[in-house]
Amino acid sequence: MLRKVLGFAVLAVVAWIVLKLALGLLGIALHLVWTILMLALVGLVVYWVIKLISPGTARRVKDVISGDRSAGSDI
């Protein structure tokens, strides 16, 4: 009987450690996703401001991001 109780206690401790590790990794992953989304939002706002102020520059930025190699040749 003591062996069963100790077995359940060890199982509970191992499950607690695994759960704590898994939730910690999930928290790190969610924080990274949130940070990337915030940086993307900042980039979008900056692009909108550039597009509002200088549409030609915004077009060149879009061409560079999309991979058009000829976008930088007219500078």
pTM (two decimals): 0.64
CB 37 within 8 Å of CB 45: no
Number of neighbours of residue 50 by Cβ within 10 angstroms: 17
Structure tokens of 32? 């990274």
Model confidence pLDDT, tens digit, residues 6-59: 999 999 999 999 999 999 999 999 999 999 999 999 999 999 999 999 999 888
Give the pLDDT of residue 53.
94
DSSP state of 67: T
- Give the C-alpha separation, 52 to 75, whole Å: 21
- Give the C-alpha separation, 36 to 31, whole Å: 9
